[in-house]
Amino acid sequence: MHNVVISGTGLYTPANSISNEELVQSFNTYVAQFNADNADAIARGEVEALTESSAAFIEKASGIKSRFVMDKEGILDPQRMAPRLPERSNDEWSVLCQMAIGAAEQALQRAGKTAADIDGVIVACSNLQRAYPAIAIEVQEALGIQGFGFDMNVACSSATFGIQTAANSIQLGHARAILMVNPEVCTGHLNFRDRDSHFIFGDAATAVIIERADLATSKYQFDIVSTKLLTKFSNNIRNNFGFLNRAAEEGIGAKDKLFVQEGRKVFKEVCPMVAELIGEHLQENQLNVSDVKRFWLHQANLSMNHLIVKKLLGRDATEQEAPVILDTYANTSSAGSVISFHKNQDDLPAGSLAVLSSFGAGYSIGSVILRKR
């Protein structure tokens, strides 16, 4: 069995960002138009009037101030309220592939590796833009990587599950190094007409190089001490979009064909599960929570993260201990915890213990214990 390290991370951030104020202005224009168009039916009690959104509520309830997006214009157009990402020919790299390349190139550079050093590509994300061929095989082709590639989806936990999958392959000698990427166009599955959730998501891609410790040369290395995964079925975060939709015409265009959630229930049920899993994971490895210098947590809700770390530490965490990126990125699904990791690792002294943890739909929870080399 080989020892395994993470030797480089990368981030692709879209060029455009939308503030809460811009998003709310578009939403409220839509609400005013809907209520005007349906004024008679609303007066007769046949249609329910829509209620305005509020930037102050969004920041207070979630901690989100803005989000990066692949297309700003389409989302903010009150007549459209969805990103516009034109079809590409089969001769062009797909949108997900393009984002993955951006993140992967930086991860390769930080790891000091070239395509020739990589034996496999895993694309792990919440939303794959087509059924097949796998996006990972396209990324392989775009970067000139030999070996194998496959896609996997564990919603917001895709990255930690992807890291365990890659680490297992490397431990067993199936690959020297694997590129694991998380391209997330979360705005593609977000219902921008839903007041309860229109502010939640943003777009980004992250990449992680996982490789054999004895081959790693970069100065950004973390030992993968241990990984622990957990899933438990829940309908509280769900998206019923899929290839069988055309076989059930009655459901086409219904709200459940985009992201839907019971936010309060998710908050209440997932926080204790995450704290318990991380606590158990550290204990199983004879490690103390108080020795963990950094928690790179999934970035969905600021209060959720505060609560999880407080449950673990028995006190509030400092900004350094549990770095926040959701204020400017919003929830980028599987990319979130890796963005926090990527942006907040270089200051850690050698030997520092850290935890990368994701949580989301499924429910699915992942914990990766890392030690800076």
Ligand X SMILES: CC(C)(COP(=O)(O)OP(=O)(O)OC[C@H]1O[C@@H](n2cnc3c(N)ncnc32)[C@H](O)[C@@H]1OP(=O)(O)O)[C@@H](O)C(=O)NCCC(=O)NCCS
- Calpha distance 72→81 (Å, rounded): 10
Strand order of the β-sheet with 203-212 is 148-152, 120-124, 177-185, 203-212, 4-12, 222-231, 364-372, 353-360, 292-297
Site for ligand X in 1-40 (CB under 6 A): none
User: What is the smallest separation between the CB atom of 19 and ligand X, expressed in angstroms?
Assistant: 14
* DSSP secondary structure string for all residues of 197-247: TTTSB-EEEEEEEEEEGGG---SS-EEEEEEEEEE---SSEE---STTGGG
- Least CB distance from residue 210 to ligand X, whole Å? 24
The one-letter code for the residue type at 123 is V
- Does 360 sit near ligand X (CB under 6 A)? yes
220 versus 359: smaller Cβ distance to ligand X: 359
Shortest separation between residue 276's beta carbon and ligand X, angstroms:
17
From the list 145, 266, 326, 338, which residue makes contact with ligand X (rule: CB under 6 A)? 266
Q: Which of residues 150-189 bind ligand X (CB under 6 A)?
A: 156
Our CB check for ligand X shows the closer of 157 and 169 to be 157
DSSP state of 331: B
In three-state secondary structure terms, 303 is helix
User: Is 62:304 a contact under the CB 8 Å cutoff?
Assistant: no
241 lies in the binding site for ligand X (CB under 6 A): no
Does residue number 98 form part of the binding site for ligand X (CB under 6 A)?
no
- The one catalytic residue in 125, 156, 186, 271 is 156
| Annotation marks residue 186 as catalytic | no
Tell me whether residue 42 or residue 61 sits nearer to ligand X (CB atom): 61
Least Å distance, CB 224 to ligand X, is 24
d(CA 34, CA 48) in angstroms, rounded, equals: 10
Kindly identify the residues of this chain, within the stretch 301-330, that bind ligand X according to CB under 6 A.
Answer: 301, 304
Dist CA 19 CA 17 (whole Å)? 7
Among 42, 47, 61, 115, binds ligand X (CB under 6 A): 61
Q: Give me the sign of the Cα torsion angle 294, 300, 303, 309.
A: negative
**7 or 364, CB closer to ligand X?**
364
Tokens of 217: 């040369």
Q: Which of 208, 361, 369, 370 binds ligand X (CB under 6 A)?
A: 361
Size of the site for ligand X (CB under 6 A): 21
Task: Name the residues annotated as catalytic.
Answer: 156
The residues that touch ligand X, with contacts defined as CB under 6 A, are 53-54, 57-58, 61-62, 156, 195-196, 237, 261, 263-264, 266-267, 300-301, 304, 331, 360-361
